[in-house]
Amino acid sequence: MTDHLESGHDKAAVAILGLGPMGRVLAEVYVDRGHPTTVWNRTAAKAGPLVARGARLAASVDEAVAAADVTIVCLNDYASTARVLRPVGEGLRGRTVVNLTSGTPSEARETAAWMGERGARYLDGAIMVPPPLVGEPGSVFLYSGPREVFDEHRATLTGVGDPRYLGTSAELAVLYNTGLLEMMYATMNGWLHATALIDAADLPVGDFAELAFGWFVPMMFGPSTAGLAAALAEGSYPGDLGTLEMNVNALEHITRTSVEQGVPAEQPRLMLEIAERAVAQGRGGENYLAVYEVFK
Amino acid sequence: MTDHLESGHDKAAVAILGLGPMGRVLAEVYVDRGHPTTVWNRTAAKAGPLVARGARLAASVDEAVAAADVTIVCLNDYASTARVLRPVGEGLRGRTVVNLTSGTPSEARETAAWMGERGARYLDGAIMVPPPLVGEPGSVFLYSGPREVFDEHRATLTGVGDPRYLGTSAELAVLYNTGLLEMMYATMNGWLHATALIDAADLPVGDFAELAFGWFVPMMFGPSTAGLAAALAEGSYPGDLGTLEMNVNALEHITRTSVEQGVPAEQPRLMLEIAERAVAQGRGGENYLAVYEVFK
Ligand SMILES: [Ca+2]
Ligand SMILES: [Ca+2]
């Protein structure tokens, strides 16, 4: 039996703590989808437009938590989360708290432990889209924590996006979020820098983008690429199809071309230095994945 | 009428200059597919196994070029290319030369001009796969130079891979190759570094890879991503869906998490510094693509 059935509504009652750009849009989506929605913010004035839309403004955090089947925390950082929830004390016992605040893995672990001591049912989460995409199809939210808490509130969490459950360790959501964002920035920076090389030669950057994203990236990176993780876990990098020495040559070439084209070369140069460090570890005859040993 | 019909064979006669790992496999594939294949190498002994397989060893570069409908150059660098082909002189007139040697854009342009002065028909090319994949389906070779030269020899070029014609400027192949390789290394390094973060928390790196390559990368980067090139060409980066300031916060977070997890932080830190430079240019309210202005 889920909380929202107990509460007599057909939609779970939700509380949103923190009305920054992300908290505001979460509250809007829940109000618009018919969830009884309570909001709280340190500066209550921010709640005005939400109250006009149909949200209820809580006079205190205690009141917000007590009113909700699910309390969603969306504050600036974990320090604010602790400061805001500490006064609630025994009021957290048996309540469900979903923390979408950005933080580090150790902050997520500490907060999960702190919530556990107070008897709260805790999920840590991370939002993979900017505020304007919240509530749109395909907007992914990552969650970690007890499986049964996620399962019980899956329908409510689905209201604002596509929820992905990662596992029981609290830090999974924040850490996967961090890792995926790093991949996004790294891939973007690779493309942006490569495009600067193309542009410096007065060649068409649109044609390059079509080859890069229409063919190269999907050809190089897809579901089957995930299989490479086994090599990392085993530390096994056979160089049959190409060696790190060959990759060092290619990275030297990219760096040299950047200099020739008058494009800042730090980005390829750092990749070259990292590959050279792996070669210095005696891995020149292994394949490119051996640079993982430099990062580990 | 194509050269190989003039020569009376049903397959074009091919000469391979340079029998390093790539030149050798190109020669093997052409021999095995029934092309009359002449080989030349500075150290003739390297040709032994190819001659046993059915290739003809040329006594000189002149002889190799004269015997072939298409001369494929696969040497260490463009300096070697010039040194090897200079003595041929008038023997290059009307011949087709395809240069698969790695080099920089300016080297490709200079070589194309030099070939033009000698009356040779010249394509510059780049091989996107390691030697063991040459001749396999889907192995892409990039070509640039006169369209009619490419069209005339397309069937012959298809013998060793999937040929992609990029345009008339000689430097396109080498520059696109450089750019695509940079993207490959950047994306791999993003994943490898992110995986080190996951591993440092004793979390399963295979699960992360499945989310990263099974969902995140295909969702973030695909054919429609190519449309972003228009923004770069226009220098227009509206921050409606998210600002560079927010990305700087995310990159600070990734850097801080790396330090916390004991993983080398230079890679995210460089991306952070690049983004901060764009903010210092007054672009903090624009979107992430504005870092292109730092690279340009
Ligand atoms: Ca979180
Ligand atoms: Ca080339």
The verdict on B191 touching A (C-beta cutoff 8 Å) is yes
The per-residue DSSP string of A41-105 comes to -SSGGGGHHHHHHT-EE-SSHHHHHHH-SEEEE--SSHHHHHHHHGGGGGGGTT-EEEE-----H
**Quick check: helix, strand or coil at residue B97?**
strand
> Do B77 and B47 share a domain, yes or no?
yes
**What local confidence, expressed as pLDDT, does residue A9 receive?**
65
> Do B143 and B236 share a domain, yes or no?
no
Q: Any bridge partners for residue A124, and if so which?
A: A99, A144
> Do A113 and A61 share a domain, yes or no?
yes
The mean predicted confidence, pLDDT, of chain A is 94
Residue A287 DSSP one-character state: -
Write down how long chain B is.
Answer: 296
> Do A239 and A219 share a domain, yes or no?
yes
The verdict on B231 touching A (C-beta cutoff 8 Å) is no
Contacts 24+ apart (CB under 8 A), B109-117: B109/B169, B109/B170, B109/B171, B110/B78, B111/B78, B111/B81, B111/B82, B111/B170, B112/B145, B112/B170, B112/B171, B114/B82
Q: Which two tokens stand for residue A75?
A: 């504050």
* pLDDT, tens digit, 9 for 90 and up, residues B55-64: 999 999 999 9
Question: With contact defined as beta carbons under 8 Å apart, do B187 and A186 qualify?
Answer: yes
**pLDDT digit of tens for each residue in chain B (296 aa)?**
455 555 556 899 999 999 999 999 999 999 999 999 999 999 999 999 999 999 999 999 999 999 999 999 999 899 999 999 999 999 999 999 999 998 889 999 999 999 999 999 999 999 998 898 999 988 999 999 999 999 999 999 999 999 999 999 999 999 999 999 999 999 999 999 999 999 999 999 999 999 999 999 999 999 999 999 999 999 999 999 889 999 999 999 999 999 999 999 999 999 999 999 999 999 999 999 999 999 99
Kindly report the nearest CA distance between residue B91 and chain A, in angstroms.
32
Instruction: Kindly state the percentage of chain A with pLDDT values over 70.
Output: 97
Q: Starting from the CA of residue B72, give the closest ligand.
A: 2
> Do A64 and A186 share a domain, yes or no?
no
**What local confidence, expressed as pLDDT, does residue A1 receive?**
41
**Quick check: helix, strand or coil at residue A223?**
helix
**What local confidence, expressed as pLDDT, does residue A10 receive?**
85
> Do A38 and A153 share a domain, yes or no?
yes
The verdict on A261 touching B (C-beta cutoff 8 Å) is yes
Pairing type for strands A14-17 and A37-40 reads: parallel
Residue A215 DSSP one-character state: I
* Average pLDDT rounded to a whole number, residues A248-256: 94
Identify the CATH number of the domain in which residue A35 sits: 3.40.50.720
Q: Which residues surround ligand 2, an ion (CB under 5 A)?
A: B 124, 126, 174
> Do B216 and B238 share a domain, yes or no?
yes
**What local confidence, expressed as pLDDT, does residue B1 receive?**
40
* Average pLDDT rounded to a whole number, residues A80-109: 94
Can you state the angle between helices B244-261 and A172-200, rounded to 10 degrees?
120
**What local confidence, expressed as pLDDT, does residue A294 receive?**
97
**What local confidence, expressed as pLDDT, does residue A102 receive?**
86
How many Å lie between the centroid of ligand 2 and the Cα of residue B231?
A: 30
**Considering only CB atoms, which chain B residues are within 8 Å of A218?**
218, 221-223
Question: With contact defined as beta carbons under 8 Å apart, do B92 and B122 qualify?
Answer: no
Q: Which two tokens stand for residue A140?
A: 């992914």
**What local confidence, expressed as pLDDT, does residue B10 receive?**
84
In the listed set B168, B187, B207, which residue is the last one of a domain according to the structure? B168
Question: With contact defined as beta carbons under 8 Å apart, do B257 and B194 qualify?
Answer: no
Domain that includes residue B291, residue range: 176-295
Residue B176 host element (H or E): helix B172-200
Indicate the residue type of A46.
K
Q: How many whole angstroms from its chain centre is CA B179?
A: 8
**What local confidence, expressed as pLDDT, does residue B158 receive?**
95
**CA proximity to A84, closest of A51, A56, A114, A104:** A114
Q: Which of residues 127-146 of B touch A (CB under 8 A)?
A: 130, 132-133, 138, 140
Total domains in chain B come to 2
**What local confidence, expressed as pLDDT, does residue A161 receive?**
93
> Do B164 and B181 share a domain, yes or no?
no
In the listed set B145, B168, B191, which residue is the last one of a domain according to the structure? B168
> Do A150 and A7 share a domain, yes or no?
yes
In the listed set A140, A168, A196, which residue is the last one of a domain according to the structure? A168
**What local confidence, expressed as pLDDT, does residue B242 receive?**
87
The verdict on B234 touching A (C-beta cutoff 8 Å) is no
> Do A17 and A149 share a domain, yes or no?
yes
> Do B81 and B120 share a domain, yes or no?
yes
Kindly report the nearest CA distance between residue A211 and chain B, in angstroms.
8
ipTM: 0.89
> Do A196 and A141 share a domain, yes or no?
no
**Considering only CB atoms, which chain A residues are within 8 Å of B199?**
232, 296
Q: Which of residues 148-187 of B touch A (CB under 8 A)?
A: 164, 166-167, 169, 171-172, 175-176, 178-187
Band the pLDDT of A7: cuts 50, 70, 90: low
DSSP-H helix ranges across A104-171: 105-117, 147-158
**What local confidence, expressed as pLDDT, does residue B283 receive?**
98
